[in-house]
Amino acid sequence: MSAIPPRSLLVGIAGGTASGKSRFAAALAQALAEGRPPLSAQIIPSDHYFRNHDPAGPKVTLPSGEAYFDYNHPDAVDHARLAADLDRLSQGEGAPDVLIVEGLMILYAPLIRERLDLRLFIELEADERALRRLVRNLGQDPIDLEKGRWIADYYTVSARVGHIRYVEPSRVYADLILRGDGDFGRLAPMVAAVVRDLYARKRSGGESDG
C-alpha cells in the first residue's frame, strides 16, 4: 500500500494594506524555485475570497454618508472556504511543495493561522502604506481629485481602523517580522532557506512548530 504524499508546507504572509505582502510572496516563490533544491510554490491571495457580493457582508460608512463593503474587516473574507481550499490544494499528488497564502487577516483568523507552518508579518509605517495605496488606487489618472478624496476617506474609516483593530495586533502570532521597505531580493532567499529547512523536516516526518 503506497504512502499518502506529505501535504504542502503552508506559509502565511500578513501585514497592512500596501505593506508589500504580494510583492514578497512573489519574491519568495521565485527564491524557492531558484534555490537548491528547487521547490514549487503556489500563491493564494485571500483577496480572492472576499464576500463583497454578499448582502450580509460588513459595511463601512464614509463621511459622505455612502455605505461601502468593508474590505478591512475579518468578516470580509470567507475564511471557511479559504481553509477548505488550502486543505484540498495541499493534499495528495500534484500538490505544490509550498502554498503561500497572503492577505490582511491571515494571522488574525484562527481558522487559517492554525494551518500555517510558517507565519510572516510585513511591517511598514502607516504614512508610507497610505501613500503607496493612494498611488496604487489612483493608477494612471493622478489628477482625479474626486477619486483621491474617496480613497482618502475610505482609508481613514476602513483601512486605518481595520489595521489598528485587527491586522497590527495579529503580528504577535508571527514567527518572522519583515520590513515592507526592505530589500526583498536579499530577504526572500533568507526566508526561502527557512522554508526549505521546514519542508525537509516535514518530508522526513518531523513537525514544524507552526
Tens place of pLDDT per residue across the chain (210 aa)? 344 555 899 999 999 988 999 999 999 999 999 999 999 999 999 999 999 999 999 999 999 999 999 999 999 999 999 999 999 999 978 999 999 999 999 999 999 999 999 999 999 887 778 766 666 666 655 556 667 677 788 888 898 999 999 999 999 999 999 999 999 999 999 999 999 999 999 888 755 444
pLDDT of residue 173: 98
What is the rounded distance in angstroms from the CA atom of residue 69 to the CA atom of residue 29? 31
Grid coordinates representing 121 are: 508579518
> Does residue 192 contact residue 32 with C-beta atoms inside 8 Å?
yes
Buried residues in 68-104 as b, exposed as e (16+ CB within 10 A): ebbbbbbebbbbeebbebbeebbeeeebbbbbbbbbb
Give residue 128's pLDDT: 74
**Measured torsion, CA atoms of residues 90, 16, 18, 74, in degrees rounded to the nearest 10:** 60
| Residue 36 is assigned to a structural domain of this protein | yes
Which H or E run contains 15? strand 9-15
Q: Give dist(CA 210, CA 193) in Å, integer.
A: 16
pLDDT of 137: 67
Q: pTM for the whole thing?
A: 0.87
Residue 1 within a domain: no
Report yes or no: 19 and 101 within 8 Å, Cβ to Cβ.
no
Dihedral angle over CA of 70, 52, 120, 131, nearest 10 = -50
109 within some domain:
yes
Structural domain that includes position 77: 9-203
Query: Is 69 within the bounds of a domain?
Result: yes
Considering its fold, how many domains does the chain have in total? 1
* CA–CA separation, 152 and 127 (whole Å): 12
Give residue 86's pLDDT: 96
Residue 46 domain-assigned?
yes
Per-residue pLDDT, 203? 84
CATH code, domain carrying 14:
3.40.50.300
pLDDT at residue 209, rounded to an integer: 46
73 within some domain: yes
4 within a domain of the structure (yes/no)? no
pLDDT at site 14: 97
170 lies in some domain? yes
* Partner residues linked to 118 by β-bridges: 11
